[in-house]
Amino acid sequence: MAERVKGILQDLEKGHISVPKALGLLKDFPYEDMGFAKVDNHRSLRRGFPEVIFGEGKTPEQIIKIAKRIIAHDGILLATRVGQDVYRALKKQCPGVKYEPKARAIYFRRSAPPRKTGTVAVITAGTADLPVAEEARVTLELMGNDVEMLCDVGVAGLHRILDNKDVLEKAGVIIVIAGMEGALASVVSGLVSKPVIAVPTSVGYGASFGGLAALLAMMNSCSPGVSVVNIDNGFGAGYFASLINT
């Protein structure tokens, strides 16, 4: 998009368009009104990554329409919490899009992202936390991060995480994904000096209250260096990790 902005400005400089005209063209950039949605087109300029589609509560038609606009503008797409049917319908119109079924995410990147040098470790307490981890991984890779996954290393068998301390130490940023009592976040944070992004998950039953138990536990971590995102929010953790990964 930066190219198109530059073009308008050059047109103005060369006298091909007037200032009011230029202003009008630039003002049209920020978002496009699609009736039901205003695609935030200059977010990639402002924030380094385009708008991400959160699929829940949107009709397949809405998702596809928004996705096509974002692809056209930015050449990058991430849509989370969408079913395989939406993917198939979109693929017919944008053949390059891919789908990660565990994460239920559609993604696309026209050109390779600039690579970051640090690695992000994505760690889960249990096997059932995998879909959230996959959502984080897809997000991270789309943003140019190397990812190291370490799954099922919950504190019930502490040696599993202790034996993998090298993974923790090599990483620049650590994402810890855990349901139930969410203790893994505190434990990992206590072992190393890396920032830990904790993701509570809704894995559990009874008094886990849909992830509330893990969320509160992570919020109250006795080990400094932990911050928390929403329950099951793999995307948010991946996005935040990419912002702080160098």
Q: How far apart are CA 71 and CA 62, in angstroms?
A: 14
Q: Rounding to the nearest 10 degrees, give the CA dihedral for residues 47, 52, 57, 61.
A: 130
Least distance from a second copy to the Cβ atom of residue 32, Å: 10
- Closest CB to a second copy among residues 108, 233: 233
Least distance from a second copy to the Cβ atom of residue 139, Å: 9
Within 8 A by CB and 6+ apart from 241, the residues are 120, 136, 140, 145, 173, 175, 197
- Closest CB to a second copy among residues 119, 189: 189
- Closest CB to a second copy among residues 94, 191: 191
Instruction: Tell the residue number behind the tokens 């970051």, with chain if given.
Output: 116
- Closest CB to a second copy among residues 68, 160: 160
Least distance from a second copy to the Cβ atom of residue 162, Å: 8
Q: How far apart are CA 223 and CA 157, in angstroms?
A: 20
* 105-109 sheet: strands from edge to edge: 53-54, 76-80, 105-109, 98-100
Least distance from a second copy to the Cβ atom of residue 95, Å: 25
